[in-house]
């Protein structure tokens, strides 16, 4: 619905409109010109007011045919790279992995401005078809190189029936005021098993936006882990759809925010058929004058009887100035379900801290031990040892950077 009054457009909106028109995405440009970027009045962006937070958008990124080394190295991983939206030449893929390209965006059209902008600006997408189980971790490094740039890129993955794999996506680049808009579309066949991990390791001035869309067939099992540990402004949107009986999703995420950072994980999980289950679990750790947002909605369709879905968010505040905001939601149309949600937030447990101090452990080390224990529930299920160590290294690096 068009508003009854004109929207005052800011510099970021004017730039986005011009960029979209330059590539022929006139419908998306028109939408922004009419409605602008989302404000607090848009429920899904209530805590991440893009009209206020995204003040400027740099020029569209120029193709980069060479890129720096990955920000996170996982020994033994099969590595692919996208630099400034351009897919780089890859080494020989493992057996059963088909690497290709497709034109345009990959996300399902929905009423979300960042999805629309990604679909409008993405020129080519990396495609992966996993025909059988893959042992090495597949790492996709998505970088923005050079001077400040606005980059949209996309990845489309199909995991065949009965196949299993682990995919790690890392986001990084040069130390400039980039704006990245990234998309991942992943479809799991019958009884497929996938672990999908995304880590934002961008420089402190970056605005990072990502949308991950998942579709699960009968018996498929999905585990996701989102880690925000870099950008000044970060928002990852998760859209899992459990469309096959017996499918299950463990959707997890972690916001690590320090002074000045704003990180948002917004999830909308749809149980579309009967006999599906999900267990979303998110954690926030905030220090300094920072802000962590976790929004989680569970949608149970009318025909999705016997759904078992439970959402949980736990926040840990390491300073009095930090903010942790949580908004769990249930939207249930079936009547034979087991669904629930919960959210907690607090400081380090004083009794546990006192116990460690009484054993002669220095305070800084004791606090680090408690934080690691708080996070362990998210990292322990990652079975690949090299990948698990790399994830632990990300957390340790954040803890030491104080």
For residues 272 and 359, membership in a common domain is answered with: no
Say whether pLDDT at 30 is over 60: yes
Does 269 fall in a domain?
Answer: yes
pTM, 2 dp: 0.95
How far is CA 355 from each of CA 69, 278, 343, 347, rounded to the nearest angstrom?
43, 36, 26, 16
Say whether pLDDT at 1 is over 60: no
For residues 139 and 248, membership in a common domain is answered with: yes
> What is the residue-averaged pLDDT of the chain?
94
For residues 82 and 167, membership in a common domain is answered with: yes
User: Cβ neighbours of residue 134 under 8 Å, at least 6 residues apart?
Assistant: 78, 94, 96, 97, 163, 164, 165, 166
With contact defined as beta carbons under 8 Å apart, do 270 and 302 qualify?
no
For residues 228 and 177, membership in a common domain is answered with: yes
Q: Give me the domain span that covers residue 392.
A: 349-402
Domain count, the chain: 2
Does 382 fall in a domain?
Answer: yes
How far is CA 46 from each of CA 10, 51, 120, 316, rounded to the nearest angstrom?
19, 11, 24, 22
Q: What is d(CA 304, CA 226) in angstroms, rounded to the nearest whole number? A: 27
With contact defined as beta carbons under 8 Å apart, do 240 and 211 qualify?
no
Region 22-51 average pLDDT: 95
Does 53 fall in a domain?
Answer: no
pLDDT at residue 202, as a whole number: 96
Q: Is the dihedral of CA 358, 360, 361, 364 positive or negative?
A: positive
For residues 102 and 227, membership in a common domain is answered with: yes
Among 321, 348, 375, identify where a domain stops: 348
pLDDT at residue 294, as a whole number: 97
Say whether pLDDT at 168 is over 50: yes
């Amino acid at each position: 619905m068009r508003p009854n009054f004109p929207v005052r457009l800011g510099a970021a909106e004017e730039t986005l409109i011009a960029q979209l028109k330059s590539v022929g995405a006139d419908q998306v440009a028109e939408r922004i010109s009419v409605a602008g970027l989302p404000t607090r009045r848009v429920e899904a962006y209530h805590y991440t007011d893009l009209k206020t937070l995204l003040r400027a958008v740099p020029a569209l990124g120029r193709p980069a045919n060479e890129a720096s080394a990955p920000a996170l190295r996982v020994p033994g991983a099969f590595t692919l790279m996208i630099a400034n939206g351009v897919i780089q030449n890859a080494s020989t893929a493992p057996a059963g992995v088909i690497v290709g390209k497709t034109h345009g965006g990959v996300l399902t059209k929905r009423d979300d401005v960042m999805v629309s902008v990604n679909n409008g600006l993405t020129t080519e997408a990396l495609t992966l078809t996993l025909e059988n189980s893959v042992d090495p971790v597949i790492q996709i490094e998505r970088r923005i190189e050079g001077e400040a740039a606005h980059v949209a890129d996309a990845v489309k993955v199909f995991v065949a029936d009965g196949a299993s794999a682990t995919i790690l996506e890392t986001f990084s680049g040069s130390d400039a005021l980039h704006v990245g808009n990234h998309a991942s579309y992943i479809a799991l066949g019958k009884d497929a098993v996938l672990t999908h991990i995304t880590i934002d390791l961008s420089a402190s001035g970056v605005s990072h936006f990502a949308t991950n869309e998942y579709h699960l067939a009968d018996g498929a099992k999905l585990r996701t882990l989102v880690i925000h540990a870099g950008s000044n402004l970060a928002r990852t949107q998760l859209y899992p759809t459990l469309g096959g009986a017996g499918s299950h999703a463990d959707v997890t995420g972690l916001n690590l925010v320090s002074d000045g950072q704003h990180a948002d994980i917004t999830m909308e999980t749809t149980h579309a058929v009967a006999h599906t289950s999900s267990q979303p679990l998110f954690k926030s750790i905030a220090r300094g004058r920072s802000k962590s947002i976790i929004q989680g909605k569970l949608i149970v369709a009318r025909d999705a009887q016997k759904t078992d879905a439970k959402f949980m968010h736990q926040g840990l505040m390491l300073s009095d100035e930090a903010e942790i905001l949580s908004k769990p939601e249930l939207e249930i149309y079936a009547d034979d379900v087991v669904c629930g949600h919960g959210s907690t937030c607090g400081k380090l447990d004083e009794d546990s801290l006192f116990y460690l101090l009484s054993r002669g452990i220095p305070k800084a080390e004791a606090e680090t031990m408690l934080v690691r224990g708080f996070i362990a529930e998210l990292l322990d299920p990652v079975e690949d040892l090299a990948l698990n160590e790399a994830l632990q290294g990300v957390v340790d690096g954040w803890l030491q950077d104080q």
